[in-house]
Amino acid sequence: MHAEPRYHFASDNTSGICPEAWHALEEANAGYQPSYGADATTTRACERFREFFETDCEVFFVFNGTAANSLALASLCQSYHSVICSDLSHVETDECGAPEFFSNGSKLLTAKSQLGKLDPADVERLITHRTDLHYPRPRALSLSQSTELGTVYRPGEIAGLCELARKHGLHVHMDGARFFNALAGGTATPAEITWRAGVDVLCCGGTKLGMAVTEAVVFFDKALARDFEYRCKQAGQLCSKMRFISAQWLRILSNNVWHAHAARANSLARQMADNLGKIPGVQILHPVDANAVFARLPDKLKTGLKSRGWQFYSFIGGGSRLMCSWATTQADVDAFCTDARLEM
Ligand SMILES: *Cc1c(COP(=O)(O)O)cnc(C)c1O
């Protein structure tokens, strides 16, 4: 008999909206405000981003990560350019060609990765092995923080990749769908793992952190943000009732709300890995730097857990992926691990 589906660990976007974002939505619902971002809340939210990153950056809000990444990359490239990204990157594997579509044809070139992180030697090979005009000219480097395998680049690793990019005239894009989990998983400041390390544009994830339908595109190199609002509008990514998006950001970036949620998710993921790792036959595949656990589960265990209702993906990163979110509780982790022990 199959139990009710339990999506708790399938992804960090199977959870609901966190109470702070929900409350911000409720507050934003009162009365009338100018539309399309001309309201005072949006101005304050953008100002809050500048404080958070300790720099004068340009901030835009879109509805999802695919749009954020694609529009950001399109603003770095001409159609004859290429973007170097990891073979496991979301832009390559999970965006249905949107980066190529929105850039009118810029080609993604995939570099080898280790534990989800770009291999600098392979990046350099891709940049330098051809310089003739028959090859799409490398113009941007894209890296995900945290990575698709739940690992987190150290500030020095980011700086090294940015240095390499700069040496060859490439801009740097960071896919930060789980930026806050990465941030909470280390000790560096927001500035240190972005613009101080050399990142030009960050797609900063709101949805997986616990917000409703929003990602922020943050340009540290303001020249690259030119006309970006037109790209957003043309792509159908300009929210008319913008205050609902900006009110959430304002709230999440205040009083370390982002940190509380991201750090809890990370810590529950680590617990999950520790507990599962003790079960004979289970192998934890990658370091748990953020909120993802990748485990190789014996088939019997996988089937057993699924028949108990647990939903999780087994097609990403060579194992079964278990994601924790703001909504994950200690009881959820305990219940999953208890079921796993019972099934073995
Ligand atoms: C979830 C995710 C995104 C954004 O996906 P959308 O479904 O388009 O919001 C982007 N990058 C990574 C690494 C992700 O995990």
Task: Tell me, yes or no, whether 176 and 99 share the same domain.
Answer: yes
Range of the domain at 273: 257-343
Task: Tell me, yes or no, whether 161 and 303 share the same domain.
Answer: no
What does the pLDDT profile of the chain (344 residues) look like in tens digits? 568 999 999 999 999 999 999 999 999 999 999 999 999 999 999 999 999 999 999 999 999 999 999 999 999 999 999 999 999 999 999 999 999 999 999 999 999 999 999 999 999 999 999 999 999 999 999 999 999 999 999 999 999 999 999 999 999 999 999 999 999 999 999 999 999 999 999 999 999 999 999 999 999 999 999 999 999 999 999 999 999 999 999 999 999 999 999 999 999 999 999 999 999 999 999 999 999 999 999 999 999 999 999 999 997 767 999 999 999 999 999 999 999 999 98
Query: What are phi and psi for residue 67, nearest 5 degrees?
Result: -65, -45
Instruction: From the CA of 207, give the closest atom in ligand 1.
Output: 9
Cα 65 to ligand 1 centroid, rounded to whole Å: 5
**Token pair listed for 37:** 């971002």
Q: CA–CA separation, 288 vs 273, rounded Å?
A: 7
Own/partner contacts of 277-285, CB < 8 Å, gap of 24 or more, are: 279/340, 279/341, 279/344, 280/344, 281/344, 282/340, 282/344, 283/319, 285/149, 285/317, 285/318, 285/319
Count of the separate structural domains present in the chain: 2
Last residue of a domain, one of 202, 223, 252: 252
Last residue of a domain, one of 196, 231, 252: 252
Q: Is the CB of 144 under 6 A from ligand 1?
A: yes
Q: Is the CB of 175 under 6 A from ligand 1?
A: yes
Task: Tell me, yes or no, whether 220 and 278 share the same domain.
Answer: no
Q: Is the CB of 321 under 6 A from ligand 1?
A: no
Q: Is the CB of 148 under 6 A from ligand 1?
A: yes
Cα 324 to ligand 1 centroid, rounded to whole Å: 15
Task: Tell me, yes or no, whether 148 and 60 share the same domain.
Answer: yes
Last residue of a domain, one of 220, 252, 284: 252
Task: Tell me, yes or no, whether 225 and 193 share the same domain.
Answer: yes
- Ligand 1, atom 15: closest residue by C-alpha: 177
Instruction: From the CA of 12, give the closest atom in ligand 1.
Output: 1
Q: Is the CB of 65 under 6 A from ligand 1?
A: yes
Query: At 231, which CATH number?
Result: 3.40.640.10
